[in-house]
A = this chain, B = another copy of it.
Amino acid sequence: MYCHRVPKQVDHAERRELIADAVLAVVARGGLEEASVRHVAAEAGVSVGMVQHYFRTKDELMRCALERVGARVQARMGEGVETPREMLRALFRQLLPLDEERAREGRVVLAFLAYATVRPEVGAELRADSSALRAHFAAGVVGSPLSPEVAAAGLFALLDGLGVQVLSGQLSVEAALETFDAFVELVLPLDI
């Protein structure tokens, strides 16, 4: 009879996460074009055959990796979003590539973003994540001269743009921080 839901002896999901995380590491270091099955396997310290065992196709592998990016970003955005100003700062600190870990993550996101402009089905995941984030924030905006939706859209776009410019070396981290703070001041004036 069928009884194949006992964990056998390895945790399927755990292995998949291990491999998917290896994808993200490879993409962060060398871009999407270096994310070959062989490289990913080497990064994860496993054999190519094992990657194939857990992901029947490379597409499935990349899809899983993309989902993990979204999950990571989502996990970063804690529920503690009190005042919009403080929430925005927190968001900012989490979304801007202020340290190496987030720079790696940002490179991954940017790689997938560029890929999404050309493979629209890839963009669905990113779209869902970001629109949820935006709506969540817009609901908390008060006291802005702009409508909440516009303020949210603009500030998120500003975050994206600053992130891209920092990652591509066009802007220093300090300049990005200063710029964002100044714009937050404009959009959400602190008139207690």
> Cβ of A114 and Cβ of B111 under 8 Å apart?
yes
- Smallest CB separation, A92 vs chain B (Å): 12
Smallest beta-carbon distance A117→chain B, Å: 4
Encode contact with B along A67-102: 1 for CB under 8 Å, 0 otherwise. 000000000000000000000000000000000000
Q: Are B162 and A179 in contact (CB under 8 A)?
A: no
Choose from B29, B119, B164, B182 the contact partner of A154 (Cβ within 8 Å): B182
Q: Which of A163-185 contact B (CB under 8 A)?
A: 163-165, 167-171, 175-176, 178-180, 182-183
Candidates B107, B113, B154, B187; contact of A168 at CB < 8 Å: B113
- Interface size of A by Cβ–Cβ distance < 8 Å? 52
Kindly provide the distance from the CB of A15 to the nearest chain B CB, expressed in whole angstroms. Answer: 27
Q: Is A32 in the interface zone, CB < 8 Å from B?
A: yes
- What is the bound-complex CA distance between A108 and B115, given in angstroms? 11
In the complex, identify which listed stretch (A1-9, A44-52, A53-61, A123-131) lies at the interface while the others stay far away.
A123-131
Partner of A164, one of B164, B180, B182: B164
Contact B161 A183 (CB under 8 A): no
Q: Is A25 an interface residue (CB 8 A)?
A: no
Q: How far, in whole Å, are A113 and B162 apart by their CA atoms in the complex? A: 13
**Once the chains bind, are B131 and A31 in contact (CB under 8 Å)?**
no
Which residues on B sit within 8 Å (CB–CB) of A167? 117
